[in-house]
Amino acid sequence: LQSNGCGPGFAEENTSSVEQAMIKAAGNTYLASPNLPDFCGCSPGWSSAFYGAECFDSEVHSYLKNLGKQKSSESQNIDAKKVELEQLLMMETKNYRKTIKFYQKLLQKERRSKGPETKSMLPKLRGQLQEMKSKVQFLELVKKYQMMYAEQWGVESYVLPTVIHSGKADTMDMAPMDESSLLLYYNTEKHQCNNQNGVRVLQAGTPLGLMAYLYSRNAFLEGYVQQFLYTFRYFCTQEEFLQFLLDRISSTLSSASLDPSTSLSKICNRSFYILQAWIEDCYSVDFATNTDLLGTLKEFISSKVASLNGYRERLLSLLEDASAGKSGSADLCSGVDKCKEESEEGRKTLHSLCKKLSEDVSRKVCLFFRLQSVLPKPCCSSFTEESSVSLARADEVGPVLLIECSAQQLCWQLTLLQQEVFNKCHPVHFLNSRALGVKDKCVAVPKAVSAETVSLKVCNLFLSKCIQDQYLLQLLKNADSISTWVAAEIVTCHTTKRQVSLLSKFLLIAKCCYEQRNFATAMQILAGLENLIVRQLPAWKILPAKVADIMEELKAVEVFLKSDSLCLMEGDRFKTLPTIPSAHVLAMHVQQLETGGFTMTNGAHKWTKLRNIAKVVSQVHAFQENPYTYAPDFKLQSYLRQRITRFKEADISALAADNCANFHQIPAEKHSRKIQDTLRRMKATFQ
C-alpha cells in the first residue's frame, strides 16, 4: 500500500511471505536459547516508517539466510551470522575509507600535473567509490534486519485481545473479545474474501487496539512500530501509553522466565522491546520534556523489574545515556558514519568529494588571508570563544565580508549553521503545529501572545493532557531571523552600487544553497528578498539580467517544494546528497494531511491517515542521516551569527527610511528645471 516503486533501491518484490518465512525459520533458533542475544538498538528507524514492509526485500533476506552457515550441517547459527556480518562490514568500510583517501590524493595530483593517465583513472575510481558505498549501505541494512530480535516475541492476530486482557488482573480468565471490535482491516487484493489467502492491511482501530497491534507478528518489520511512535499522540497521551506497557510487564513478568513459546512470555518480552524502541527514538520529545513520565518509568524499572535477561540494567543504562545526550536517537547517524566518525575524510559522501575537494584547499587558504586582513583584531579563534567578540566589532566590519567572500563560501557556512539547528529537531516536532499558532504565510506565534494562550484557542489535535515539545517555533523563529537579516543588510547599504552587489550576492548564495539541496536557507533568503520594501528598491532595475533571473528560479523551487510533501524523497538522490528541507513548508504539508477527521463513524482511529503522516515526517530523520561535511570556518560563522543577531528583530521600514539609496532619486538638473518652471507659472498668474 506504500508508494509504488519507492523501495530502498534493491529488488522490488512482495516481501510479506518472505518475511513471515524468515520469522518462522529463525523463530525456533531464537527460542531455543533461554537468554537473549547481546542487547543492541532495536528502533526500526525512519526507513521502516517510510518504506513500511518494502524496507527489507528478498535480497536482504536471502543474504542473511546464507550468512553463518556451518559447512558440515548447513544449519543456521545466529552468533555465526552476527560475527560474519560484523567482519564483512568492517572490511568493506575500511576499503571504502582507503579508496576515499586514494581518490583525494589522485585528485590533488591531477590538479598539479594534469596528466592524461591520472585524468582517465578518476572516473573509474569514482564509479568504484559509488559501488563500495552501496555495498556498505546494503550490509548496514542487512545488519538492521538481523538485529530485529523483537520479532521473535510477536504474536498472531487472534492473540491480540489477550494482550489487552493481560494488563487487567481481574479479567485474565475472561474469554477473548472479538478482534473486529479492536481493529479493522482491508484486503489489498480485490475479490479476495479469505483473509488467509490475501494480505490484510490495518485500516483503523481503537486506541487499545492500536497499542495491542504493536505486539503482532511482523509489526517491527512492516514499519508499524516506528509509525506508531511518531503518531500515537493523536489518540493517547504519553502517560497512557507508558501505563499500557507497564501493566503488560507487571502482569506477565512472572511468566517471562518460563516456556518462551507461551503467549504471556512473548507479551512480556515484547513489551520490553517496545519500551526500548520508544526510549531510543523519542526520548527527547517525550521523556526529556516530562520529568513525571521519566520518574514513573525509572521507579518501575528499579523496583519492579528484576535482573531478568539484563532488562533492568539495559533500560537504566539507556535512560542514563539518553539524559546525558549520548542516546543514538539524538543523532540517528547511519552505521556507515558511525564507523568513520573519528575520520572526517571517511565520513565524506561521494557528492561532497566530487564538489568540494577540487576547490577546498585553494579557497580555504584564500579565505584565511582575506579574513585575517578584514576582521578586526583580536578576533575569536574558535567557536568556543565566539561570545568574546562583541557585536560592536561586527558592526565595524559591516557588510564587508558579505561582499568580499564568495557566494559558495557563504553558502557553505550558512548551511553548516542551518544544519546545526535542523539536527536538533525531531519528526514529532512537525505534528499538531496549528496548536502552536503556525499558519501559512506566518512564521511564528505573535510576540504579544504566548504559545500557551494560542494553544487553547486553536484546535489541538493531540489529547489535552499530551505534552508537546515546541522546538518547531524555535526553528521557524531562526528562519524568520535570517530572512529579516537579509532584508536589513540590503536596505542599510548607503549606495545603490553596494545594494546591487549585495542583491547579487544573496541571489547567488540562494542559488548555491538550493543546488546543494539546502532548501531551508534558500527559502529564507527568498523571503528576505521578497520583503515589500526590498522589492521596491531602485537597485533591482540595474541588476544584471542573469542574476535577476535567479529570482524566478527561486520562486520555481518554492513552487516545487510546495507541490508534493515527498518531493525531496523521490529517487535515490536524498540517500547520497545531504538535504535540509524548509521547516515551514514541511509543517504546512503535515497540516494539510491533518485536515479532516481522524476517526471513523464507529469511533475507530484511521490508521491509514496516521501512517501517511508518519511517512511524511520520517524524512526529517532521513535527511539527518546524511550530513554536510564542509570545513567549518568559525570566524566567518561568528561574523554571520553576530549580523543575524543584530538584525533579527529589526524594523525594515524604519531602517529603509534612514537611507537615501532606498528611494528613487530625481536628477539635480531636472529637479531645478521643475522648480524654475513652477515659479514661472506662478509669476504668470499674478501678471
Cα 336 from Cα 343, distance rounded (Å)? 12
124 lies in a domain?
yes
Cα 644 from Cα 483, distance rounded (Å)? 9
Task: Mention every residue, 6+ apart, whose C-beta is less than 8 A from residue 17.
Answer: none
187 lies in a domain?
yes
Instruction: Evaluate whether 95 touches 132 at the Cβ level (below 8 Å).
Output: yes
Give the pLDDT score at 168.
64
Q: Are residues 185 and 139 in the same domain?
A: no
Distance between terminal CA atoms of the chain?
A: 90
Residue with cell 515659479: 679
Q: Please count the residues of the chain.
A: 687
Any idea what the CATH number is for the domain that residue 307 is in?
1.20.870.10
Does 608 score more than 70 pLDDT? Answer: yes
Give the pLDDT score at 68.
61
83 lies in a domain?
yes
Number of domain units in the chain: 3
Cα 174 from Cα 88, distance rounded (Å)? 51
Pick from 112-121, 126-135, 212-221, 250-259: least confident: 112-121
305 lies in a domain?
yes
Q: Are residues 58 and 117 in the same domain?
A: yes
Q: Are residues 309 and 261 in the same domain?
A: yes
* Percent of the chain residues past pLDDT 90, beyond the cut: 43
391 lies in a domain?
no
Q: Report angle CA 572, 576, 577 to the nearest 5 degrees.
A: 105
Does this model's pTM top 0.85? My answer is no
Cα 356 from Cα 684, distance rounded (Å)? 73
**Region of residue 175 (left: phi > 0; alpha: psi -120 to 50; beta: else):** beta
Does 399 score more than 70 pLDDT? Answer: yes
Cα 182 from Cα 207, distance rounded (Å)? 8
Query: Could you write out the DSSP letters of every residue in 39-91?
Result: P------HHHHHHGGGSS-HHHHHHHHHTT--TTT----HHHHHHHHHHHHHH
Q: Are residues 117 and 159 in the same domain?
A: no
Give the pLDDT confidence of 404-456 residue by residue, as tens digits: 999 999 999 999 999 999 999 999 999 999 999 999 864 444 444 444 444 44
Q: Are residues 245 and 126 in the same domain?
A: no
Give the pLDDT score at 468.
92
Q: CA dist 35 to 249, 385, 474, Å? A: 18, 51, 45
Q: How confident is the model at residue 394 (pLDDT cuts 50, 70, 90)?
A: low
Domain residues for the domain of 124 are 44-147
Q: Are residues 192 and 107 in the same domain?
A: no
Q: Are residues 81 and 108 in the same domain?
A: yes
Instruction: Evaluate whether 227 touches 205 at the Cβ level (below 8 Å).
Output: no
Task: Mention every residue, 6+ apart, whose C-beta is less than 8 A from residue 683.
Answer: none
Cα 473 from Cα 451, distance rounded (Å)? 9
Give the pLDDT confidence of 587-600 residue by residue, as tens digits: 999 999 999 999 99
- Alpha helices (runs of H) in 223-349, residue ranges in sequence order: 224-231, 238-252, 263-282, 291-304, 311-323, 328-331, 335-338
Cα 394 from Cα 390, distance rounded (Å)? 7
Count CA atoms closer than 13 A to 453's CA, side-chain side.
6
Q: Are residues 634 and 543 in the same domain?
A: yes
Q: Are residues 51 and 188 in the same domain?
A: no
87 lies in a domain?
yes
Q: Are residues 539 and 413 in the same domain?
A: yes
Helix, strand, coil percentages for the chain (3-state, nearest 5): 65, 5, 30
Does 462 score more than 60 pLDDT? Answer: yes
Any idea what the CATH number is for the domain that residue 538 is in?
1.10.840.10
Give a three-class secondary structure readout of 113-177.
HCCHHHHHHHHHHHHHHHHHHHHHHHHHHHHHHHCCHHHHHCECHHHHHHHHHCCCHHHCCCCCC
Write down which residue in 275, 295, 323 finishes a domain. Answer: 323
Question: Average pLDDT for residues 248-271, to the nearest whole number?
Answer: 85
394 lies in a domain?
no
Which of 103-112, 134-143, 309-318, 659-668 is modeled with the greatest confidence?
309-318
Question: Average pLDDT for residues 214-239, to the nearest whole number?
Answer: 94
380 lies in a domain?
no
Cα 684 from Cα 677, distance rounded (Å)? 11
Cα 33 from Cα 142, distance rounded (Å)? 22
| Cis ω before 446 (30° cut-off from 0) | no
Write down which residue in 323, 356, 384 finishes a domain. Answer: 323
Burial classification of residue 641, based on how many CB atoms lie within 10 Å of its CB (0-12 exposed, 13-18 middle, 19 or more buried): middle
Instruction: Evaluate whether 487 touches 531 at the Cβ level (below 8 Å).
Output: yes
Cα 591 from Cα 574, distance rounded (Å)? 23
The pLDDT mean for the chain works out to 77
Comparing 2 with 438, the larger pLDDT belongs to: 438
Write down which residue in 272, 303, 323 finishes a domain. Answer: 323
Q: What are the residues facing 200 on neighbouring strands?
A: 187
Q: Are residues 136 and 255 in the same domain?
A: no
Q: Are residues 526 and 409 in the same domain?
A: yes
Q: Give the amino acid at 356.
A: K
Task: Mention every residue, 6+ apart, whose C-beta is less than 8 A from residue 317.
Answer: none
